[in-house]
Structure 1
Amino acid sequence: MSLPWVRFDTSLPDHPKILALLEMKDGHRAAFVYCCALAYAGKHGTDGQITRPSLSRVNGRPADADRLVQVGLFDVEDDGGWRIHNWANRQELATVTEMKRAAQRIGGQKGNCVRHHGPDCGCWREQA
């Protein structure tokens, strides 16, 4: 399930891992790839996984991913792709997003039932 947003820490520009990237040749590219990877993972509900085929979708090259692994912003996955380090600790997981949306749908159905049929109807329970 996709997110329309991701948490983007305001201290990112001066985070030690980003500063380490900026000291490397083409590190500024890798830093941009990291930002794009955050957005991509949120949009597509990948829970931080960046597959090899999707690397180009985040404007990245294998060398950029290698730099991100080197500074600890990406973790290598067994399938040859990567996972954004600490994604589950800092971002909302796709299952959580889906549960929230399901609860909102049920709340909307209940509200519509009460509004249009009265407080004793309960037809929203059949739809849930």
Structure 2
Amino acid sequence: MPWFKVDDQFWSHPKVVELSADAVALWVRAGSYAAQHLTDGVVTYGIIRMLAADRDAATELTNAGLWDQQDGRTWLFHDWDDYQPDAVVSKERRQKKQDASALGNHDRWHVARGIQVEGCSHCIAGAIPPAIPSAIPGGFPPSPSPSPDSTHVSESQSRDTRASIGTDEQSAEPYKSVLASQYGIDVARVRKHLDDKLGLMLAPPDVVNVSMWILNKIPQPPRAPTSYIIGSITKSPAEVQQYIHESALI
């Protein structure tokens, strides 16, 4: 939905203070109409009549320099292109949202962020490809299993000791890179919060799985994914811990 923008100093602008209430009302209502119907600021006499206004109000706006009269039945908002939504751009955004709304949650993420995921039929051609085979839940490789000759780690050992085994910080970089560019998730922050809140120090790939599980429960991506994930863990620690255990991430 495009927005008709009104400057917060509009009410006191010299061009406005001398206008009648009818003229001000017409300017606001016609602007809202033009933004909704993507007219690029064009207002016809038919629109003016539909908005219960008349030529006198339109003439006031023209004389004040807020509208430019094109002919006897057409007016144009002054400097519309400098301040208001462009019709072509708005149509493209509207179509993109309509296309995304018809998709599942995973695909909606891809379309909204311009991500190309291998095997996804809805991904945008030419988008930045992921640095690993897939960036959707279940697409990340599982945590490495200990080899037969690996040293056994008992539950009594500290979390720091357990976290240091089989957890090479360099291995987290590909995931951090992918998430930063595609989903905006800070793996290190989420990993630390899981440790602080649940006492579980997960491997980076498992942090990714937990993060994507949380994000895929909502229909649209949040503005601050990392903060949303951390907030969800804080709000529902038992649910997150249950998912971790059921998914055998520890």
TM-score, length basis structure 2: 0.41
Match of 2:119 among 115, 118, 121: 121
RMSD: 2.9
What pairs up with 1:1-128 in 2 under 5 angstroms? Answer: 3=2, 5-21=3-19, 27-78=20-71, 80-104=73-97, 111-112=106-107, 119-125=117-123
Amino acid at match of 1:87: W
The range that moved more, 41-50 or 96-105, is 96-105
Q: Provide the rounded CA distance (Å) in 1 between the counterparts of 2:108 and 2:37.
A: 33
Give the unaligned 5+ runs of structure 1: 22-26
How many aligned positions are there?
Answer: 117
Describe the shift of the 1:29–1:105 C-alpha distance in structure 2 as closer, same or farther (beyond 3 A): closer
Superposed CA offset, 1:86-116 (max 9, x none): 111111111111222345566775942899x
Describe the shift of the 1:63–1:79 C-alpha distance in structure 2 as closer, same or farther (beyond 3 A): closer
Give the unaligned 5+ runs of structure 2: 111-116, 126-250
SS in structure 1 opposite 2:62? helix
SS in structure 1 opposite 2:45? coil
Shift of 1:80: 2.6
TM-score, length basis structure 1: 0.75
Percentage of matched positions with identical amino acids? 24
- Aligned 8 A contact 2:38 2:87 in 1: yes
Q: Which has the larger Rg?
A: 2
Q: Provide the rounded CA distance (Å) in 1 between the counterparts of 2:32 and 2:109.
A: 38
Superposed CA offset, 1:44-82 (max 9, x none): 111111111111123310011011100011111146310
Describe the shift of the 1:125–1:55 C-alpha distance in structure 2 as closer, same or farther (beyond 3 A): same
Structure with higher helix content:
1
Describe the shift of the 1:97–1:61 C-alpha distance in structure 2 as closer, same or farther (beyond 3 A): same
Runs of 4+ aligned structure 1 residues displaced above 2 Å come to 99-111
